[in-house]
Structure 1
Amino acid sequence: MIQESENPEQPKNWLKDSVIVKLSVIAVLILLLLIPSSWVQSIINEREGTQEEVMNDVSDKWSGSQLIQGPVLVIPYKKEVRILDSNKKEVVKLENQTLYVLPQDLQIKANITTDTLHRGLFKGVVYNSKVVVKGNFSKLDLSKLGIDLASIQYDKVRMVFSVSDLKGLKSNPVVQLKDQKLNVEPAFDKGPFDKGLQINFTLPKDEELPFSFSLDLKGSDELSFLHTGKTTDIEVTSNWTTPSFSGRYLPDTRNIDQNGFNAKWRMLYYNRPFPQQWINDDTMLTKKASEGATFGVKLRLPVDQYQKTMRTTKYSTLVILLTFVSLFFTELIRKQYVHVFNYILIGVAMIVYYTLLLSFSEQLGFNIAYLIASLATITLISIFIASLLKNKQMALLFAFVLSTFYGFTYILIQLEQLSLMIGSILLFIIIALLMYFSRKINWEKH
């Protein structure tokens, strides 16, 4: 009878005290906590998408990213073409042809003044820029192309250049062409650029053609240039302190400090995917520009709170795992039972940590938000463990352990280049500590 009354209790005690069962339950809890962790990541992606939409809306109403292309000389001429008529007789016909010529030298100086526009919690970078373009076209050298100088229509020559978003022009450009000033007009005729501006003039014979003009330009996010000169020199200065240089060509010199940046490029036409002059192909520049002839500077915000928060959530499983393992070891060493429900509460608190981080970072920035969310979570879990174990020293120990986990996570977020190495070293140290403390546990009794 005694054995029958004790038998029902044995499975219950075995289930409660079994290390394997407890570890299995903890493992299942960690896997289940991946679900709300993925929800948090979805919220971050949604908020980041909303920010991108707001930035696009700001750019649409202000002006988009600007790409300055050109200038290019568009020179029409007549070419004699011999064809056979209906009577099989050879006749000569004059056909309209177009010669495109790029500048011999091109110098561009751009001064960018930035501003930040806010839409609720979200913001985007816009700018005003004064762009000065100077250069010259050399004398026509048509011997390689087999064009007769007498066939050139000198009075119908155009100089065409382009600004990608014409809405950003704050004033009408005026081109200084040798000794005359010419007003710019939209280029409705078919030409080398989709959104071109042009001047019409009579081309001087057998002379170089210097030019200059200024662009008073609005834009957002990025200012880029197309390498069209045989020698192209670009200088960009701005009050923006976190530039990102884009395109195929990096600046030869750059200087970035707390007051802004200055960058200079110098390029030769050897690195350019199109020739100095060509015939008839009006898609040459637009087709080749995307293949590596554009470059410039991005003025976007530095790595924002959404990117950093997303990177932080990727360590959530590891932090929860290490916290649960630390609490489990505490159970075994102190021989105090912690209910599975308490593990769930601690895990949920560590998931809510990331929603705190996201919401506060939108208001206060990532660094302050990280401090607030970490202190709140560490304090909550430490007080909870103190009430469970009835031991303030263990609560302080757990506060130290969690502070270490969140501290190293913060370091990994900041050190993008060294994050893999630092993370690997951290995991190695943690495994070594687990090995050290696990040796004090008599596993045969559990």
Structure 2
Amino acid sequence: MTARPAHPRRELLRELLLALLPLLATVTLLALATQPAYIALTNGGKGLSPYAYQGLVQDVLQYRVALVNPQATPEEREVRYQQALSSASNRRQFVLLDSVESWGEFRLLNVQRDLERRTLAGAERAADEAIALNNLVRDYSADQGATYERAFLELRRALIGSAIFSGLLSLVLILRALLLWRADRVRAQRREDRQREALRLASHEMRRPLQALLLAADALRSARDEGMQQRLLTQIEDSAAQLASRADLTRLNDLYLDVTLRVQPTDLGELVRRFSSSRVHVTAPSPLVWPVDANRVRQMLENLVENAVKYTQGTVEVTLDAPGGAPRVQVRDHGPGISDELRGRVFLPYERGPQSLGPGSGLGLPLVRRYAHAHGGDVMLNHAPGGGLLITLTFGQAATQVAAPVPVRKLTPG
């Protein structure tokens, strides 16, 4: 499975937008939360000033006093009248007059009309109306002050709420950045662990063909018989091919971790008979053809036979058959066997059998199980009848990717 290509510009844009998110959210929240307070304050203008209303009451009362004062001259009464009428006629000097009049039934126009009658009764009614209008202004001013106070309280709550929200959002983004950083560290550590595991397995699996190659090359120096030379050259070719198959640095993951097989019909009997020696007795029908990755099957058999030879001093028996139609390889030794506790752990990396019986890294059997699963089979350990250990390797249908085999250049003609 190939990873999706990264888009650095898109990721950079996403991170920039996330970095701007607290600012955008705070501005939006403040704009919405302070809108009622803003409307209340702007509708209130610069605030209600009662001085014009108080001045109206004073002018109307002075006019009424002038009417009832017998010592007042007609000229003085006219001056007081014009002064009161001018004050009642100039609506512009009365701040928020429409809002104040909407609170009650008293009107500035009534004051003006009563004054225009130029009678004592009209002056008295105008004075009462002006006083009532002034009292109405006082009540309206008190209510407007309470409205301003509520607006400022709402504004204060909005500012505090926006600060808390912005802080929490910033905290969430910081935590997200820390989690992303930690996830990147974990992914990088996993990649490094997988690379190290692949390199360890490759080193483990290259050891055997490399030893065989060195032994064959050393024997070739002293070989005088042409037939022996050809056999040694064939062995060198085979070991070189195995080294090439197990040490492809561009395919380490496919070889040892994800296990991508190169499957083709293979005579398993021929593969098994290669391990026949003075201590290894092989029983295998010929031919027994099955679709497998020949190089990976050879690695499995090498690990199983090598373990059996390492942990016993007697004969090792290797048997190939197909009791249920699918191939099965059994490797039996006559050694000390293995405890039930250790038998459940030997397929874990770095778990080994009795340490005193020989060196090893404990990577062979876990790799065998991984390859067996890739071939649709499994590997199992059981106590052999009469003592020793019986290892059974089964095959099924390979479920991983099928690829063409890599051609290997021969050292000898033909």
Same fold (TM over 0.5): no
Report which of the two structures shows the higher radius of gyration computed on alpha carbons: 2
Q: TM-score, normalised by structure 2?
A: 0.26
Determine which structure has the larger helix proportion and give its number: 2
Determine which structure has the larger strand proportion and give its number: 1
Where relative contact order (Cα < 8 A, 6+ residues apart) is larger, the structure is 1
Q: TM-score, normalised by structure 1?
A: 0.25
